[in-house]
Amino acid sequence: MRKSIAIVIPSYNEATNIDVLVNALNETVSNLSYDFKFVFVDDGSSDETIAILKEKAKLHDNIFYVELSRNFGHQNALKAGIDLVKNDADAIISMDGDMQHPPKIIPKLIQKWEEGYEVVYTIREEDKKLSYFKNKSSNMFYGLMNKLSDIKFEPGTADFRLIDKKVAQVFSDFSENELFIRGIINWVGFKQFAVNYEPNERFSGKSKYTFGKMMRFAIQGITSFSTKPLSMAIILGISLSVLAFIFYIGYVIYSIYYGHVISGWASVITTVVFFGGLNLVVLGIIGVYIGKLFMQSKGRPNYLISNTNYK
Ligand code: UDP
Ligand code: MG
pLDDT tens digits, 225-284: 787 888 888 888 888 888 887 888 888 888 888 876 667 776 777 788 778 878 887 888
Comparison of pLDDT for 184 and 140, the residue scoring more: 184
- Cβ-contact 9, 21 below 8 angstroms: yes
Min mean pLDDT across 33-37, 116-120, 215-219 is at 215-219
Nearest to 80 by CA among 11, 14, 15: 11
Query: Quick one: which H or E segment has residue 91?
Result: strand 91-94
Indicate which residue's Cα is closest to atom 16 of ligand 1: 96
| pLDDT computed for residue 36 by the predictor | 95
**Segment 189-214, tens digit of pLDDT:** 999 999 988 877 777 778 777 778 77
* pLDDT of residue 129 exceeding 70: no
Separation of 73 CA from ligand 1 center, angstroms?
A: 8
Q: Which 3 state secondary structure label does DSSP give 121?
A: strand
Indicate which residue's Cα is closest to atom 17 of ligand 1: 208
| Residue at 133: amino acid letter | F
Residue 49 CB–ligand 1 contact under 6 Å:
no
**Segment 134-182, tens digit of pLDDT:** 677 777 877 877 887 777 777 778 899 999 999 999 999 998 888 889 8
Residue 100 CB–ligand 1 contact under 6 Å:
yes
Residue 159 CB–ligand 1 contact under 6 Å:
no
ipTM above 0.90, yes or no: yes
Nearest to 72 by CA among 11, 1, 119, 123: 11
C-beta atoms surrounding 18 within 10 Å: 22
Confidence of residue 69 (pLDDT cuts 50, 70, 90): very high
Residue 14 CB–ligand 1 contact under 6 Å:
yes
* pLDDT of residue 37 exceeding 70: yes
Separation of 96 CA from ligand 2 center, angstroms?
A: 6
Mean pLDDT of 67-79: 95
Indicate which residue's Cα is closest to atom 14 of ligand 1: 74
- Cβ-contact 89, 167 below 8 angstroms: no
Atom in ligand 1 nearest the alpha carbon of residue 158: 25
* pLDDT of residue 304 exceeding 90: yes
Min mean pLDDT across 81-85, 90-94, 178-182, 267-271 is at 267-271
- Cβ-contact 161, 185 below 8 angstroms: yes
Atom in ligand 1 nearest the alpha carbon of residue 100: 23
pTM of this prediction? 0.80
Length of the chain: 311
Mean of the per-residue pLDDT values for the chain? Answer: 87
* pLDDT of residue 119 exceeding 70: yes
